[in-house]
Structure 1
Amino acid sequence: MPHFSNFRGSLRRLALPTQRLVASWWRRQSPARQDRFATLGPLISVLLFLAAIISAFWYLRNEEIERETEAVKRDTEIAQQQIRLRLIENQEQLVRIAREIVTRTVDAHDFGAQAKTFARERPELTHVSWLSARRERRASVSAAGFQDDSLMATDGSDPSMPVANQSSPAELAFQAAKERRQPVYSPPFADNNGTTVFQIQVPLIDRTGFSGVLIAEYAVEGLLRYSVPTEVATRHAIAVLDAREQVVSSTVTPMPGQRIQRASILHEVPLAPAMNGLILRGQGYRTSIGLISNTLFWMVVALSVLTVWMLLGTWRHMRRRLQIQTALASETNFRRAMENSMLTGMRAMDMDSRISYVNPAFCAMTGFSEAELIGRKPPFPYWPPDRYEENARLQQQEVQGRSPAGGAEVRVMRKDGTIFDARMYVSPLVDTKGKQSGWMASITNITEAKRVRDQLSASHERFTTVLEGLDAAVSVLSVQQGELLFANRSYRLWFGADPAGHALLAGSQLGRGNSPDADEEVDDYSGLPAQHLTDTGSDPREVYVDSLEMWFDVRSRYLQWTDGRLAQMLIATDITVRRHAEALAAQQAEKAQVTSRLMTMGEMASSVAHELNQPLTAITNYCNGMVSRVRGDAIKKDDLLAALEKTAKQAQRAGQIIHRIRNFVKRSEPQRQAAQAYAIVEDAVELAGIELRRRNVAIHTYVAQRLPQLMVDPILIEQVLMNLLKNAAEAIDNASLPVSRRHIELRVVPKHTPELGGHIEFSVTDMGPGLPEEVISRMYEAFFSTKADGLGIGLGLCRSIVESHQGRIRAENLYNGSLVVGCRFAFTIPVDISRSEPLTAGPAGLAVNEKATP
Structure 2
Amino acid sequence: MQDSVTPSELHESVPPAPWLKRWWRRQTPSRQDRFAMLAPLVAVFLFLAAIASAFAYLRLEEEDREMEAVKRDVEYAQQRVRLRLLERQEQLMRIARDISNQEVDPDEFVGRAESMVIQYPELQALSWIDERRRIKASYSAPSVASFQQRLAGEVLRAGETETMYSLARDLQQPVYSQPTARADNAGLLQLHVPLTEQGRFAGVILGEYSIDSLLRYGVPTEVAAKYAVALLDGNGQMLAGTTVPVRSAAGQLLPWITPQANSYEVPVSPVGNGLVIRAQAYRTSLGVIGSGLFWLVGTLSAMTAWMLIGNWRHVRRRLQAQRALVAETNFRRAMENSVLTGMRAMDMQGRITYVNHAFCQMTGWSEQDLVGRKPPFPYWPDEDRDLLTARLEDELQGRTTPGGFQVRVKRRDGSLFDARLYVSRLIDAKGQQTGWMTSMTDITEPNRIREQLQASHERFTTVLEALDASVSVAPLGSEELLFANKLYRQWFGTHTVGHLQMVAQAGTPGHARSDETMDEVDSYVGLPTGQLDAVHSGNAEIFVPELGKWLEVRSRYLNWVDGRLAQMVIATDISARRHAEEQAALQAERAQSASRLITMGEMASSVAHELNQPLTAINNYCNGLLTRIRSRQIQEDDLLAALEKTARQAQRAGQIIQRIRSFVKRSEPNRTLSEIAPMVTEAVELVEIELRRRNVKLAHFVAARLPALMVDPILIEQVLVNLLKNAAESIDLARRGPSARSIELRVVPRQIDAQEVVEFSVRDTGRGLAPEVMDRLYEAFFSTKAEGMGIGLNLCRTIVESHQGRMHAQNIYNGPDVAGCEFSFWIPVNVAMNNTAGKDAGVTA
TM-score w.r.t. length of structure 1: 0.49
**Greater Cα radius of gyration, structure 1 or 2:** 1
